[in-house]
């Protein structure tokens, strides 16, 4: 049904366009209440962008919270998945402290999640949908992709303290090569592993250039066992599969490899990514695999998803005068 486009703002038009995109790929709409039991968020506070949550006491004395996140609710309410793949999308308002105003704000968010027997084909589908979502929103989109398993495997081989790992991760996230070298000196990390960590800071951009550099750095070094090299080869191979999927879809120009895309190592693993739109300094899409979160919530299945932060997109003039089709 096509209706008068003057009724809707450009952000609402973008929201409808994304919903139609996800539905056309077999994703079902997930709806939730505006609030959940506070314990759900208290138990996974590190997963949230902010520890500040609006709470209230229900009539039965239960402490409740206005939802600051949708993913946790989806995981909570899908307990018995088995060998299936559950494909869901959502269009919800979440309640978070705005980084600009530092006040609580109701934020429009659209996103999708895949839970269950997630395989490489499912991962590629989710990343392609993230790329198509960016195309809906911007004329010059970019998707930065990383494989967190490479960093995790490298850190495990270094046998560092938790504090040192966090410092190194922060340096990689901020592309702080100088700070990274300082931390490596302080923990007396050997030059070979320090150089590999530095490679994750300095090696980024076109996958056709980056992936061969990664293979040379991680697979030809003598410091790793054959088992460790096999693990690195598998992680690099996962990036190659995504590049091939983007090439087949004609979207390879959108793709960058960038290891500064880092999630919390307690919750995220594998492929993680961030999407950017022209003229917007911060990412408008953020997502990745979160098998570790599933495990922390006593789920045995895998998961991957992303959120689209429409409120960060400004005026969205791309939707001026467009018709709106409601499905």
Identify the residue whose tokens are 């690195």: 232
Q: Cα 151 to chain center, whole Å?
A: 16
Query: Is residue 5 a contact partner of residue 324, using CB atoms and an 8 Å limit?
Result: yes
Q: What integer pLDDT is reported at residue 3 of this predicted model?
A: 44
Q: What is the pLDDT of residues 317-327, one digit of tens each?
A: 565 555 545 45
Q: Which segment of 221-230, 259-268, 306-315 scores lowest on mean pLDDT?
A: 306-315
Q: How confident is the model at residue 231 (pLDDT cuts 50, 70, 90)?
A: very high
> Three-state SS for 138?
coil
Query: Is residue 132 a contact partner of residue 247, using CB atoms and an 8 Å limit?
Result: no
Query: Is residue 172 a contact partner of residue 285, using CB atoms and an 8 Å limit?
Result: no
Query: Is residue 175 a contact partner of residue 205, using CB atoms and an 8 Å limit?
Result: no
Q: What is the mean pLDDT of residues 205-228?
A: 94
Please check whether the two domains, 1-141+279-286+297-327 and 144-276, share a CATH topology.
yes
CATH (residue range 144-276): 3.30.930.10
Q: What is the pLDDT of residues 96-119, one digit of tens each?
A: 877 667 778 888 889 999 999 999
Q: Considering only residues 51 and 179, tell me which one the structure prediction assigns the higher pLDDT.
A: 179
> Three-state SS for 270?
strand
Q: How far apart are CA 242 and CA 293, in angstroms?
A: 23
Q: Considering only residues 175 and 46, tell me which one the structure prediction assigns the higher pLDDT.
A: 175
- Domain layout of the chain by residue ranges: 1-141+279-286+297-327, 144-276
Indicate whether 237 pLDDT > 60: yes
Quote the mean pLDDT of the chain. 88
Which residues is 1 bridged to in the sheet? Answer: none
Q: What integer pLDDT is reported at residue 2 of this predicted model?
A: 47
Q: Choose the most confident range, by mean pLDDT, from 70-79, 210-219, 270-279.
A: 210-219
For residue 74, give the nearest of 309, 311, 308, 293 by alpha carbon.
293
In the chain, the percentage of residues whose pLDDT exceeds 70 is 91
N-term to C-term CA, the chain:
7
Residue 20 burial by Cβ neighbours in a 10 Å radius (0-12, 13-18, 19+): middle
CATH (residue range 1-141+279-286+297-327): 3.30.930.10
Indicate whether 175 pLDDT > 80: yes
Read off the pTM.
0.89
Q: How far apart are CA 306 and CA 275, in angstroms?
A: 10
Identify the residue whose tokens are 């949550």: 53
Which residues is 261 bridged to in the sheet? Answer: none
Q: How far apart are CA 14 and CA 300, in angstroms?
A: 35
Identify the residue whose tokens are 């490479």: 150
| Whole-angstrom Cα Rg for the chain | 21
For residue 186, give the nearest of 161, 207, 215 by alpha carbon.
161
């Amino acid at each position: 049904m096509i209706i008068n486009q003057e009724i809707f703002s450009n952000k609402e038009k973008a929201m409808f366009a994304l919903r139609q995109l996800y539905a056309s790929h077999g994703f079902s709409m997930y709806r939730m209440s505006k609030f959940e039991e506070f314990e759900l968020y208290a138990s996974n506070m590190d997963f949230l962008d902010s520890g500040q949550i609006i709470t209230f006491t229900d009539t039965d004395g239960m402490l409740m919270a206005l939802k600051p996140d949708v993913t946790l609710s989806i995981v909570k309410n899908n307990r018995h998945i088995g060998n299936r793949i559950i494909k869901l999308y959502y269009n919800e308002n979440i309640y978070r402290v705005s980084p600009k105003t530092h006040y609580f704000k109701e934020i429009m968010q659209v996103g999708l999640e895949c839970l269950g027997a997630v395989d490489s084909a499912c991962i590629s589908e989710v990343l392609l949908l993230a790329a198509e979502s960016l195309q809906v929103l911007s004329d010059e989109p970019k998707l930065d992709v990383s494989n967190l398993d490479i960093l995790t495997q490298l850190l495990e081989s270094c046998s560092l303290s938790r504090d040192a790992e966090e410092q190194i991760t922060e340096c990689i996230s901020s592309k702080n090569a100088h700070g990274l070298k300082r931390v490596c000196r302080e923990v007396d990390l050997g030059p070979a592993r320090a150089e590999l960590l530095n490679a994750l800071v300095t090696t980024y951009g076109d996958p056709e250039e980056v992936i061969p550099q990664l293979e040379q750095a991680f697979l030809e070094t003598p410091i790793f066992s054959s088992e460790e090299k096999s693990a690195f080869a598998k992680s690099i191979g996962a990036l190659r599969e995504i590049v091939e999927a983007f090439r087949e879809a004609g979207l390879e120009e959108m793709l960058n490899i960038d290891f500064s895309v880092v999630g919390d190592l307690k919750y995220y693993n594998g492929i993680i990514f961030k999407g950017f739109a022209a003229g917007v300094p911060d990412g408008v899409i953020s997502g990745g695999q979160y098998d570790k979160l599933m495990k922390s919530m006593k789920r045995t299945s895998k998961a991957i998803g992303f959120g689209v932060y429409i409120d960060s997109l400004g005026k969205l003039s791309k939707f001026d005068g467009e018709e709106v089709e409601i499905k």
